[in-house]
Amino acid sequence: MHKRVTTAAFRKMKQDKQKISMLTAYDYPTGKILDASGVDGILVGDSLGMVVLGYEDTTRVTMEDMVHHIKAVSRGVERALVVGDMPFLSYHMGIEQSVRNAGRIIQEGRAQAVKLEGGQEILDDISAIIKAGIPVMGHLGLTPQSIHNIGGYFIQGKTVEQAQKLIQDAKALEDAGVFALVLECIPAELADLISSQLSIPTIGIGAGKGCDGQILVTHDLLGIYQGKSPSFVKRYAEIGITMEKAVSQYIQEVKQGFFPGENQSFHMDAEIVEKLYGGGN
């Protein structure tokens, strides 16, 4: 049994200047593979809405969707820190509901922490969730749940005013008690500045190498998701193309009668076959 990575371990990794690796997972086999690979943290992100469920954006993902997928991932993970996303409207309808939904992710989903998008406007919710004993990871910059307000998937924090707001939000989230902070799609220089001013680790996605850790959507990293990947993604494999080739070969072999072959077939004694065909009593 491997020693479980904890929120305290994340903080210590920053103190020791060790980079933190995170990836997303949405099912049992992926969670198991990522965990065995040694990744530090696994986010069951609401990005599952787009890469797994086929939605146009993350706003359609429900609590039931999240709990279902977090459960599956948690069953396959022994070592990595599992963080569950709180989906759209799960922490916008009052503090009591926010705490209850965060509790479901921990109690039913068996995650070790939850992630919320937003800054100072959700501090009361974050504080209440932490007070209930639930670790919280923050998320600033491009926040996909607010995509309709933002107006698209654009780089955030490019002006002085926007950058100052992100710095203020980051410090406020740290003061509220979040154990780590995702910075998405912001200039590398701003991510460097925020990371240097916080004692908690920053996890970047499209935020340059100066963050204390990095996270990518696994389906993007492996080339499984066939939609357009963001420019900050580096593809380490083309599993989607490999899958297409394998499936095409399977279809061809079925139609040509090559599959199943002898190695994929079972047989019975010739005497029994003969009797079944009426050759004996």
274 annotated active-site: no
* Distance (Å, whole) CA 14 – CA 49: 31
Sign of CA dihedral 225, 228, 233, 239: positive
Q: DSSP of the chain, one letter per residue? A: -PPPP-HHHHHHHHHTTPPEEEEE--SHHHHHHHHHHT-SEEEE-TTHHHHTS--SSGGG--HHHHHHHHHHHHHH-SSSEEEEE--TTSSSS-HHHHHHHHHHHHHTT--SEEE--BSGGGHHHHHHHHHTT--EEEEEES-GGGHHHHTSS-----SHHHHHHHHHHHHHHHHHT-SEEEEES--HHHHHHHHHH-SSPEEEESS-TTSSEEEE-HHHHTT---SPPPTT---S--HHHHHHHHHHHHHHHHHHT-SS-GGG-----HHHHHHHTTS--
Question: Which member of 184, 189, 238, 271 is catalytic?
Answer: 184
Specify the pairing of strand 41-44 against strand 20-24: parallel
Q: What residues are labeled active site?
A: 184
